Structure 1
Amino acid sequence: MADTDRVIAYFATGEQAEAVLGILLEALNASHMCHCQLVANLRQQPDGTLLSRRQALDALDQAMIQLIMRCVVLLFIEARQLLPISCQPYNLAALYERLQYPSSSSYQPAAWTCLCTLFTLLYNSGSLDSPGGGMVFQAGDKDSADGVLRALALFEDQGVVRISDESVLKLLRLLKYTNCQPVDFTLLHVEAIGQIYQSLLDFRLSLDDQQTPTFYLARRKDRRKSSGTFYTQSQLTRLIAQRTLEPLVYTTDGIPRSPQAILALKICDPACGTGSFLSSALDYLAAALQQAYLYYDEEPAPPENSLRRQIAEHCLYGVDLCPFTVELARISLWLEVVDCRLTLRFLNQHIKTGNAFIGAWESPPVDVHSYKERKQFHDRWCARWFCSPEQRRSLDGPMADTLVAQLAATHRFFHWELEFPAIFHTATWGFDACLTNPPWEALKPGSREFFSAYDPVYLSYHKQQALSAQQDLFEADKEIELAWLARQVDYKNIKNWIKHAGLSMDKLAAKQTATAPPFRYQGSADLNTYKLFLELAHYLLKPQGYLGMLVPAAIYSDQGTASLRRLFLEQCDWRLLIGFVNRRHIFPIHSSFKFAFLLIQKGGSTRHVSASFHQEQAAALECPEQEMIQLSRQQIAALSPGSLAILEVQKAQDSAILEKLYAHAIPLGEQAEGTWRIRYAREFDMTSDSALFSSIHHWQQQGYRPDQFGRWRDPQQRYALPLYEGRMIGAFDPSEKGWISGSGRRALWKDIPLTQKSIQPQFLLPWECYRDSGKVLHGNKIGFMDICSASNTRSMYASMLHGFPCGNVIPVLQPVDAGIVSVAALTANLNALVYDYALRCRLGGQHLNYFIIAETPLLPPALITQTMSSQWAARLNLIMSCYAPQWLELRAQYPHLGQQHWRQLWALTPHERLRLRCLLDTLIADLYGLDYHELAWILRPDPQHLKGFWRVDKEKPFALRHTTLILAAFAYLKEVGREHFERNEWQFPIDIATQLGPRFTPWQLHGTIAESWSECEQLAENMYRE
């Protein structure tokens, strides 16, 4: 596999793909035809209609990719000696040799002409397929209705785009060598076909028609989504195939099932891409079949290529949206079999093009018999869901058949029962196994992804700038607006289909499978393809069939997947759940992204799930179930009664600690008497409410200036309020960062020193908007950062706030008792590391949505509010003049505070803030009922623990770290008791205190106690008066 790994790694960087495409790009730019005219000609359809400019460029792009993939496939074919005799005079090896060592003694035809001849011979040979090699080798046609075929004709016609012998040599050299080392295609695994194709899709052809028109390549990561192409590493596909298929081919004692039983298996990848999972299934089943022949000794085992051919012919099925991707999947399997008796004609019946989601399950009338009639019947029914109101009226007219055919071709309706009758028209309805890594994308069109393809700096705009940029693009090019509107319409249609189509289908399907037709378990969240594929695959299985799928970690943690979890736990046996984090870049996405493999057997119910989390390498799939943690269904329900979220529990100790935490707590979202009865709000949406607020520069130009309380006012005494964004707060810090410049992801922020706290926002909101909004929580409240990660230093950053609006990235909590004592105690609980530990166990994504925190364990208000937690939290949090009224409220509740210097109550030094944080973490851990060993386990300094708190103060000496000092304080509390601990306010040992510096700033020591509280009273009066 060394050559395979090297080729895959080299193409994964994009450099090789860009260089290969660059050769054809150079020829395209050197075309004899004007670039703009070339695109204009390509836009012209034979029927007189026009492709959009973007469609024409994409057709050129796809043609370039197809030409390169032809060469790649040819190199594989020749290496396996599968080139038909009729094609051998034009083989690539001889052509490459001739180009490397040209001879001047005789005439040699142009290399590109030879290549195109070879493509044509292969297409017409019948060895690969009938009429030939499918669309991979299909020649271009300048009169075709297919834009890609017309684009291919431009490249194949040397009169339009001329490709020199030198260019052909460069092209072949780039494919035959990586890092100056030759590639042995004899040893190269066919999975490289998928990686090469995927890397080519990372680039998109564009045309700069300013002054001198020039074609160029722009890198676009999201293009793979539109093609349905997602390459999965071979080790993952191999192990997933093994995990999924092992129960089907071996008994629990490891004995192979009979050859007949193995050959009777039906395996499907409903999002097969270039066939990597089908290839791994082929390898695994062929090896198992050979073992079965040897074990049962019924007859001599056939040759390996014959075994592989039998598996390909009898067992493997696949579907994908992209026709060219399907062709590559067929060819990849054909190359894997290495048996000329297996033709692509047969694989055409097993691996098909279509939209796996959109198709009919109902039975046609008894008088409809032929495939064509049945397909027309099904297509007509589906067409009603995807046609416009005007088109719907035509469905009953003379042009109905034409319209239905157009809609079927556009949306690629796929009727599973019709396309695979051997699977669904038998007594054993369905597949034995479905395994895949489906696309992970939201179906809802994303403006950021769409418009950034036309405006390179679009991602840096805030909402109003983005809307303005959209209008500019629409005015400059009407096609962009039409394309955007078309995406909106397509989404609405498929959303309507997903929501309602299953309810309209014949009940026969449900009777046959004992399962409601899809899609009934998608939940209330936005549609996502991986959820659709999960439910579809489950439906496609026969009873006791196996589903093995690689999906985002949201499957076991998000509210939007709760219905699927309930299905898999209550109506299936959920066998395995292995969670991964992308730290070793298994996929070319962010290193913090998490995904999971799940293995489910249809039918029955789940007793326990064998689970493992935070894995970083594919080898984790080999871990025996006995070595994983066993999560019972009852335990899952106890920790997440509403959503059935599966917490990321790694060890038995974690499970025991969580059970203890929940035994001493109540869920945050509980609304019964005696609980917090918390209200949750997202006050102002940074997108949909963007018209209500403006940048600070706008307000400054209107004469607004800040006062000492954080409010802004103009000479006419009109007020505007700072709009809180996520970076502006920290734990117990209402002013952690201030805005400097920029917007969106390019905004720059600065840290605000503890002794200079002020609110420094990017946006201001009119006071009237805040006052009149029905979404605002007035009074004391808690804002927390929505964007987070379970692998950051901590996950919850909460701060008390009062009187200021918050954007949606700072959701707001407010208990039913919104007094400062209650709110401060709740803030203390939320910022405690023990609470953070419980939160991180259920945090699977990047956002602290309400459904996640709603089931987290909070201490009962009657318990925590009777402790010092409110006072300690206030000293950490209320460190600005604008909180003077809250201090007066606290003094009324705790009169002894009036005997202390008001400014000295503010924790403004690292020493005092760390001390108070340790006091709070210690007290709250004790209130949760933990012992020293349990707290030490939570805080253990283990860098291998992905969600651990070893990152807290990791830059400091071990003795000065927050986690170390918590344990010291906790040991002291257990020694002297909670009451003594609170009353005497534990202090750092002398040697630690000396290293941490003073507890107070010199400024805090000025004035008398009476003067300090007089200042507080005056500030509060000024706030209310103004």
Structure 2
Amino acid sequence: MLPGFGGHLISEAFLEEALRTIDGDGRHAAERFRGDLIQWRRRCAVLGPASSVRTVLHVGATPLFVALGFDAPIQIEPMDHHLAATVSHASHRTTLIVTAWAEPLDHFWRLAVMQAIRRATDWCFVFNGIRLRIVDARRLYARRFVEFDLDLAQDDERSCAALFRIASAAALIDRSDSRSLHAIVSASDRHAAGVCRSLKDGVLSASADLLGALVARPPLGEGGIGDSFEQALTIVYRMLFLLFAEARSLVPLWHPVYRHSYSVEALRGCAELAEPASGLWDALRAIARLAHTGCRAGDLHVMPFNGRLFSPSRTPLAERRGLDDEAARRAILSLSTQPTPDRAGRHPIAYRDLGVEQLGAVYETLLDYQPRIAPSPASPGRRRAHATVTLEPGSGVRKATGTFYTPQPIADYVVRRTLGPLVRELSSARILQVRIVDPAMGSGAFLVAACRYLAGAYEEALIREGGCHSSDLGEPERAAIRRSIAERCLYGVDLNPMAVQLARLSLWLATLAADRPLTFLDHRLQTGDSLLGAWLANLRQPPDRRRRPDQRRPTLPLFDDEAVRDALRAALPVRFSLESTPSDNIDQVRAKERAFAGTTARDASMSRWKRIADVWCASWFRQTELPPAAFGSLSDAILTGRSALASRTVEQCLAAADAIRTSHRFFHWELEFPEVFFDEEGRRLPNGGFDAVIGNPPWDMIRADAGSAEERSGARHEIAALLRFTRDAGIYQAQSTGHANRYQLFVERAVDLTRTGGRIGMVLPAGLATDHGSSALRMRLLTHCDVDAIVGIDNHRGIFPIHRSVRFLLVTASAGLPTREIACRMGLDDLADLEAIGEQPADTSTWFHVRVTPALLEHVSGPGLAIPSIRTA
């Protein structure tokens, strides 16, 4: 490590490696600078809290920048308790902000960027007398910087050399020069991409090794190989979580007992030893138990990480004795180390340089693989065949579902442009009431981006209201804000349980605090099919597969609002208390777990209504049609235990519905997230729904043309049932009769989920704008939403791992009003360009080159309202 080094503009591990390659002249220059820095620090001893900002400039900043090779600061501009200036070398200029002595630098990001833009520079120095920060002003919203504690840097030869390498005038020269800071940052980004690839390979290898160890010792349990794989992944997630936490000093590594006996870093040291591994499974179990329950022993205090991640009940196969320690050793090495550049050995992975968003790339990798178990031939000395387990590519899940990890610049753009108009003028209290959902959340990239964006908006509102000064907010306070946002504002759903696990992990890491347990997210991040579920209004009429919605005769409703209101009254106070109660200690978190479990128990009143909705949906998926009249009788049996049908018939029908529900994972939005649609008394909100829907939904065609003949035959039945549901059940209104694409269903679902005045922001294939099969959906979108901006992106640089000719769109809109004018920019191929738009409203921004109206589209394209794809970037 480099003492005093911080920030995420440059990888610390990369910088340490780069320092080893500095030539003799570079080393001598760095040594001279260190001598100058030591002398400078002595002269700055006169600075302190009473020093004026101008004194900090003249006594501290000016001699420091002269030592770094710059001319004295010029164009000095007094501002509110700080100074802005320009430092230059030859013809190259850089912006400088000087603050009060020792003032926290985090809240100067916006000023640094604004001054750099005004002074036409790529970088901005921020100096407070004891720290020097370099802000990347080219990427407005990435908030990338590198920072040095100058006291620590002067005491360490390598840190001082790093400071000189990055901050000297020689580094801030033309970006085409290989010595420039631009070149260093680019090389560091390539290094980070390599680390991410190593992490993906390591996760895959560790998962295979752990799975092999779990299944090698029978019995496997009722879940078979699939359940064993899930348990292996849980162990991998545990280690990833702890490696991220250790790299950020969020566990007590300072304590020798913890550091040497309970850290993953200590396990890595044991795994690297040449002798045969022993006791590593015992160590993994001990670390998981400590993380789950915590402990207080003398001056060692380990905060318990609540939740299912570390619970022994999540990995019963790992609780058995006699597991293969060599497999555990390989897994530990795979997750904590990576091959050296010459492939001759391994060195530690720098988790401090990895962002939480990298877990999305891990998720994408795992989707491509599936576990396979094959018995090896029994040998003469072996009484039975030994099972061999492998993870093999070709699961087809990622391709079949059109699921791809969303690069962070895209997620940040969609979140910023979707949520900005929503929260720009809101109070801090109102921001905590905003409800955001990603209905296809994957590993949580959009939710993490939304968490950070809303936390920044909350902080700005708090300062604007006078609730605090920017200098009052350090990292502990900001972590507390992120925790509140995650618990109160964010929702997510995904069909894949592995994705839900990773999304929880991502948000836990983004909101982790050293002195708090993990936030309770089980009631907000749920497993289910966002597209398959019923609204309460649907349950008033029995399912009728024989007639299309427009052919059905109205009948008396089976239920009225009061019928379900009792269930809502029982559940909603609990739901609201889960939101308002903090998760500051483990007792509060476990009380939340018990309360939530009570509302989801099979005999809970809300669970009964979910089961009625399951029966309604299952009727569309049954091989044999259920008479419409039977639905009311089955509902009576669920609610009261009495029915006009024979008890055996009721049992068979409900068992069949339960099996279909388990297979399809029905998700009934009003019953799963009732607080979004109803008040605490169970009354429907006049403008219920989410404040924003964001995400990158699957883009796959709904068809059955993959796999064996038998698999295709079974898939065709499932596809036919799915299409019957989406076209005939009355849930969706804008689906064509041609080939269906899942993204079309997600767009319509997003419109239905968003309250009037709420926002929608999604990544969608270009077919939404141009395909004839999307015309009905386009018309609904343009008449029910004010689509304010569309950005078209070309994939020829491989932004997504699909064909390079594919184009996709970033669409943002407001729900409830028809479209007036769409600001368009098409043909973008560099994600860095997404930074340039900022938060300026689309209707006044010059970044968008073309503007079209629905009237113009109808004139050009006819009633289908196709949006022409004209390259304008």
Q: TM-score, normalised by structure 1?
A: 0.51
Please name the residue that 1:627 is paired with.
847
Tell me the equivalent position of 1:267. 436
Asked whether the 8 Å contact 1:128–1:345 carries over to 2, the reply is no
Q: 1:174–1:225: structure 2 CA closer, same or farther, 3 Å change rule?
A: farther
Deviation at 1:569, TM superposition (A): 1.9
After superposition, residues 355-374 of structure 1 pair within 5 angstroms as 355-362=529-536, 365=560, 366-368=562-564, 369=567, 370-374=605-609
1:191 deviates by 0.9
Counterpart among 368, 380, 384 of residue 615 in structure 2 = 380
| Structure 2 residue 794 is the aligned partner of structure 1 residue 577 | no
Q: CA deviation at 1:201?
A: 2.8
The aligned length equals 571
* Equivalent in 724, 727, 751 of residue 499 of structure 1: 727
Corresponding residue for residue 649 of structure 1 = 870
SS in 2 for 1:574: strand
Matched, 1:237 2:411: yes
| 1:555-592, Cα deviation, whole Å (9 max, x unpaired) | 10101111111112223211111111111211111211
1:351-410 per-position Cα deviation (integer Å, ceiling 9, x unaligned) = 111111111212555344232232222222222223332988896523555444333332
Partner of 2:244: 76
**Equivalent position amino acid for 2:457 in 1:** A
Q: Is the 8 A contact 2:192 2:354 kept in 1?
A: no
State the one-letter code of the partner of 1:171.
S
Query: Which runs of no fewer than 5 residues in structure 2 stay unpaired?
Result: 1-7, 12-187, 296-300, 379-386, 538-558, 568-604, 635-648, 679-684, 838-844
Q: Residue 548 of structure 1: CA displacement?
A: 0.5
Tell me which of 167, 171, 181 is aligned to 2:330: 167
Displacement after TM superposition at 1:23 (Å): 5.4
Instruction: Summarize the Cα distance change of 1:526–1:117 in structure 2 as closer, same or farther, 3 Å threshold.
Output: farther
Residues 209 and 328 in structure 2, CA contact (< 8 A), matched pair in contact too? no
Moved more, 438-447 or 209-218: 209-218
Aligned match of 2:362 = 196
The answer to whether the 8 A contact 2:735-2:744 is kept is yes
Query: What secondary structure, in the 3-state scheme, does the structure 1 residue paired with 2:740 have?
Result: coil
CA change 1:162–1:97 in 2 (3 A) is closer
User: Which AA in structure 2 matches 1:167?
Assistant: R
Deviation at 1:492, TM superposition (A): 1.8
Whole-Å separation in 2 of the counterparts to 1:582 and 1:32: 41
2:826–2:870: 8 Å Cα contact kept in structure 1? Answer: yes
Structure 1 residue aligned with 2:687, among 424, 428, 441?
Answer: 428
- Counterpart of 2:194 in structure 1 is 10
Query: Given the superposition, is the C-alpha separation of residues 82 and 349 from structure 1 closer, same or farther in structure 2, using an over 3 Å criterion?
Result: farther
Contact 1:8–1:196 (CA under 8 A) maintained in structure 2: no
Query: Which of 258, 270, 278 pairs up with 1:98?
Result: 270
Matched with 1:352 is: 526
Alpha-carbon deviations, 1:888-946, whole Å to 9, x = none? Answer: xxxxxxxxxxxxxxxxxxxxxxxxxxxxxxxxxxxxxxxxxxxxxxxxxxxxxxxxx9x
Letter paired with 1:389: T
| CA spacing shift, 1:64–1:7, aligned 2, 3 Å | farther
* Counterparts of 2:756 and 2:302, CA distance in 1: 36
- AA paired with 1:93? E
- Supply the AA of the counterpart residue of 1:398: E
> Matches of residues 495-644 of structure 1 in structure 2 within 5 Å?
495-502=723-730, 518-624=731-837, 625-628=845-848, 629-644=850-865
Aligned-residue offset at 1:139: 4.2
Contact 2:409 2:834 in 1 (8 A): no
Q: CA deviation at 1:639?
A: 1.4
Are the aligned partners of 2:336 and 2:349 in contact in 1 as well (CA < 8 Å)?
no
2:677 & 2:703 partners in 1: Cα distance?
32
The answer to whether the 8 Å contact 2:199/2:362 transfers is no
Contact 1:32 1:161 in 2 (8 A): no
Partners of 2:210 and 2:232 within 8 A in 1: no
Q: Is the Cα contact below 8 Å between 1:586 and 1:617 reproduced in 2?
A: no
Equivalent-residue separation in structure 2 for 1:240 and 1:218 (angstroms): 34
Where 1:443 maps in the other structure, the secondary structure is coil
Q: CA deviation at 1:173?
A: 3.6
Distance 1:208 1:401, change over 3 A: closer
Once the two structures are superposed, residues 211-248 of structure 1 have per-residue CA deviations (whole angstroms, 9 ceiling, x without a partner) of 68854443237323578853111111111111111111
Tell me how far 1:21 sits from its aligned partner: 3.5
| 1:432-447 equivalence runs, <5 A | 432-447=691-706
Q: Deviations over 1:795-847 (max 9, x none)?
A: xxxxxxxxxxxxxxxxxxxxxxxxxxxxxxxxxxxxxxxxxxxxxxxxxxxxx
- Secondary structure in structure 2 of the residue aligned to 1:612: strand
Q: Sort the Cα spacing of 1:406 and 1:74 in 2 relative to 1 into closer, same or farther, 3 A.
A: farther
- Structure with greater Cα Rg: 1
1:547, CA displacement in angstroms?
0.7
Q: Is the 8 A contact 2:209 2:327 kept in 1?
A: no
CA contact (8 A) 2:463 2:469 kept: yes
Structure 1 position 294, deviation (Å): 1.7
Indicate if the aligned counterparts of 2:705 and 2:712 stay in contact, CA closer than 8 A: no
| Amino acid in structure 1 at the alignment position of 2:671 | L
Secondary structure of the residue aligned to 1:319 is strand
Q: Does 1:487 align with 2:703?
A: no
**Within the alignment, does 1:284 sit opposite 2:453 as a pair?**
yes
Whether the 8 Å contact between 2:272 and 2:333 is mirrored in structure 1 is no
1:326 matched to 2:495? The reply is no
Cα deviation 1:93-135 (Å, max 9, x = unaligned): 222233345899xxx961122113323444456999999432x
CA contact (8 A) 1:29 1:215 kept: yes
Worse overlay, 568-577 or 539-548 = 568-577
SS in 2 for 1:438: coil
Q: Distance in 1 between matches of 2:303 and 2:676?
A: 23
- Compared with structure 1, are the counterparts of its residues 632 and 65 closer, same or farther at alpha carbon in structure 2 (3 Å cutoff)? same
Q: Measure, in 2, the Cα distance between the counterparts of 1:7 and 1:201.
A: 25
**d(CA) in 1 for partners of 2:249 and 2:402?**
31
Give, in whole Å, the separation in 2 of the partners of 1:499 and 1:638: 30
Letter in 1 for 2:619: R
Once residues 447 and 212 of structure 2 are traced to their aligned partners in structure 1, the CA distance between those partners, rounded to angstroms, is 39
Q: How big is the shift at 1:157? A: 4.1
Deviations 1:584-642 (A, max 9, x none): 21111121111111111112222221111111122343454423211122221111104
Cα distance change, pair 641–24 in 1 and its aligned pair in 2 (3 A): closer
Change (3 A) 1:185 1:349: same
Taking only aligned residues, the RMSD between alpha carbons, in angstroms, comes to: 3.7
Partner residue in 1 for 2:570 = none
Paired position in structure 2 for 1:186: 352
- Describe the SS at the equivalent of 1:585: coil
Letter paired with 2:673: F
Identity %: 30
Q: What letter matches 1:434 in structure 2?
A: V
Amino acid at match of 1:411: H
Cα deviation digits, residues 406-434 of structure 1 (max 9, x gap): 33332212111111122111333011111
CA distance in 2, matches of 1:27, 1:275: 25
Q: Distance in 2 between matches of 1:437 and 1:128?
A: 38
> Letter of the aligned partner of 2:664 in structure 1?
H
The CA distance in 1 between the partners of 2:393 and 2:214, in whole Å, is 23
Q: CA deviation at 1:67?
A: 3.1
Which amino acid is 1:94 matched to? Answer: A
Compared CA separation, residues 58 and 175, structure 1 to 2 (3 A): farther
Q: Which amino acid aligns with 1:174?
A: T
CA contact (8 A) 2:306 2:517 kept: no
Cα separation, 1, equivalents of 2:818 and 2:321: 64
